């Protein structure tokens, strides 16, 4: 089959591109998704996202053993369905800080230049926030319908600690604390598939192929990308461009399988090099998370979310605990005055979030997650035969440990405030009561996990490690772009869903202008 554009991956970026490019009825667009349809009930129910982990809706990745983390292999969930990870995430809409985008130092990507693309995507409801947000975009962004009573206590605790209350989290600076804006529409998840793809699927010029895992990119004799091989030898061709939006793992993996990358590494994996681009797979970054988890003497937390009463409240009116996104409030802080912007996020969950939420809570508890926002550690994606090897090299930079320890001490301070003290009992799994710097450093190494934000592996830039240029074209390969979180030169001080949508909105303009 022949199309103008072939897009690989129906995640956050791919859904945006499929919609924006197919809006022109004169072009034909194909969207390939390795997973299936997104019809499962747990995708719709906000609090149920962890029930999708390690199912057919999840790529269910595992990292290489992490030398600086007690030799552990860490589980990395990534969405494998229409909507990608936006269909299995915690629905947090957190753009980041002005310094993130200005710090990229790339033409067209400063904060002021990308802000219109954030706003283009947004439909902020429930309050008059038009000065900060867009209000007529495809992505519904709302307040939580029924925030937990302990979430209010966390916000008061932040105030006790002298932090700044933010009237709106997504302004130019996110330093301070706020309840979390969520991608929900009247109490149900609103994924990128809901926002962008489903409306576009009515168009005759858009073809969506599910269960269509891309195997390699096709090239003509001049080295131009001309299509994609998927499944068992099937092919689609692109007369204009192939756009890879398979995510921070899938995009470099597909490029390497297609012969684009470090020639020596490709040959070692049994792949014939086609185009030398050593940066493919390098610069892997992720937001590492550790947590203070304490028992809650009051029976008010999400440990009771699956009661008959809460099921009834959700099914009858989309109300109650099942509308929670679990990460109900955040605080962005600097661990030292010398930091130019926040380097740690405190993420509050009115529940004991254990084992990625896959282990049922043994009782009522609260969690304050500590997230390292701009890690100095860098990892990589490599090949072992046809398989991707994920090595984030967590904590390979000692400064990352220091910042995490400082963040955990801030989380302990929050639990000791007058506001949270009535809800804070003794330590709860996985927290073991660590208090000294040495104990907390050990705890960071032994119990930290991903916050699900891999990025950077097809870095945008102009240096030797760059994979795409500022127009997101793969350097030296005509007809090929990468559009997703893998192009981020550095991680944002927020979460990666909103920036990925922004990147794809801007990319749609770049593609149409070429």
Active-site positions read 453
Q: What is the 3-state secondary structure (H, E, C) of 225-290?
A: EEEEEECCCEEEEEEEEEEECCHHHHHHHHHHHCCEECHHHHHHCCCCCCEECCCCCCCEECCEEE
Tell me if the bond preceding 71 is cis, omega within 30° of 0: no
Q: Torsion angle of alpha carbons 55, 57, 59, 62, nearest 10°?
A: -40
Check if the beta carbon of residue 322 is closer than 8 Å to that of residue 314: yes
Q: How far apart are CA 195 and CA 492, in angstroms?
A: 23
Q: How far apart are CA 30 and CA 293, in angstroms?
A: 46
Tokens 């600086």, residue located: 68
| Contacting residues for 503 by C-beta, under 8 A, at least 6 apart | 13, 117, 472, 483, 484, 485, 487, 488
Written as one string, the DSSP assignment of 428-441 is: -TT-----SHHHHH
Written as one string, the DSSP assignment of 69-138 is: GTTBPPEE--B-BTTGGGGTS--B-----HHHHHHH--TT-SHHHHHHHHHHHEEE-SS--TTTS-BSSS
Backbone angles phi, psi at 271, to 5 degrees: -110, 130
Strand order in 344-349's β-sheet? 176-179, 329-333, 344-349, 365-372, 288-295, 449-450
**Taken in order 268, 272, 277, 283, is the CA torsion positive or negative?**
negative
- Give me the half-sphere count of Cα atoms (radius 13 Å) on the Cβ side of residue 301: 26
Q: Is 291 helix (H, G, I), strand (E, B) or coil?
A: strand
Tokens 């991707």, residue located: 388
Tokens 């529940």, residue located: 351
CA 352 to chain centre: 21
Q: How far apart are CA 123 and CA 183, in angstroms?
A: 10
Tokens 């982990």, residue located: 53
| Contacting residues for 338 by C-beta, under 8 A, at least 6 apart | none
């Amino acid at each position: 089959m022949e199309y103008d554009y072939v897009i690989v991956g129906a995640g956050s970026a791919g859904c945006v591109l499929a919609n924006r490019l197919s809006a022109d009825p004169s072009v034909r667009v194909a969207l390939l998704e390795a997973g299936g349809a997104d019809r499962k009930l747990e995708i719709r129910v906000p609090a149920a996202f962890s029930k999708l982990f390690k199912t057919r809706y999840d790529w269910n990745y595992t990292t290489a053993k992490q030398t600086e983390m007690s030799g552990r292999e860490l589980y990395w969930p990534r969405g494998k369905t229409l909507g990608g990870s936006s269909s299995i995430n915690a629905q947090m809409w957190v753009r980041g800080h002005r310094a993130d985008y200005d710090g990229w130092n790339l033409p067209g990507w400063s904060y002021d230049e990308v802000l219109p693309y954030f706003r283009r995507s947004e439909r902020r409801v429930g309050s008059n926030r038009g000065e900060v947000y867009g209000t007529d975009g495809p992505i519904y962004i709302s307040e939580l319908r029924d925030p937990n009573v302990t979430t209010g206590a966390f916000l008061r605790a932040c105030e006790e600690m002298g932090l700044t209350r933010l009237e709106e989290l997504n302004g130019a600076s996110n330093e301070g604390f706020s309840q979390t804006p969520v991608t929900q529409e009247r109490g149900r998840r609103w994924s990128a598939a809901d926002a962008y793809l489903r409306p576009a699927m009515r168009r005759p010029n858009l073809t969506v192929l599910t269960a269509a895992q891309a195997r390699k990119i096709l090239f003509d004799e001049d080295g131009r990308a001309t299509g994609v091989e998927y499944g068992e030898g099937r092919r689609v061709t692109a007369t204009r461009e192939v756009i890879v939006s398979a995510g921070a793992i899938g995009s470099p993996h597909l490029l390497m399988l297609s012969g684009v990358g470090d020639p020596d590494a490709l040959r070692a994996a049994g792949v014939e090099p086609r185009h030398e681009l050593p940066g493919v797979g390098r610069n892997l970054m992720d937001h590492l998370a550790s947590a203070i988890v304490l028992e809650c003497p009051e029976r008010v937390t999400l440990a009771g979310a699956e009661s008959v009463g809460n099921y009834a409240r959700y099914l009858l009116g989309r109300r109650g605990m099942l509308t929670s996104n679990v990460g109900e409030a955040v605080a962005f802080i600097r661990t030292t005055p010398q930091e130019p912007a926040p380097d740690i996020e405190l993420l509050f969950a009115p529940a004991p979030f254990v084992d990625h939420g896959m282990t049922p809570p043994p009782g009522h508890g609260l969690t304050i997650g500590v997230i390292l926002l701009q890690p100095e550690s860098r990892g990589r994606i490599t090949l072992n035969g046809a398989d991707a090897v994920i090595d984030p090299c967590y904590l390979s930079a000692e400064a990352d440990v220091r910042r995490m320890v400082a963040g955990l001490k801030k989380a302990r301070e929050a639990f000791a405030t007058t506001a949270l003290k009535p809800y804070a009992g003794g330590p709860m799994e996985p927290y073991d009561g660590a208090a000294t710097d040495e104990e907390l450093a050990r705890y960071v190494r032994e119990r930290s996990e991903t916050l699900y934000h891999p990025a950077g592996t097809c870095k945008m830039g102009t240096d030797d490690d760059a994979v795409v240029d500022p127009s997101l074209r793969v350097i030296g390969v005509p007809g090929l772009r990468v559009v997703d979180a893998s192009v981020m030169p550095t991680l944002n001080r927020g979460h990666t869903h909103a920036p990925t949508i922004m990147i794809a909105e801007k990319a749609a303009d770049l593609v149409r202008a070429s």
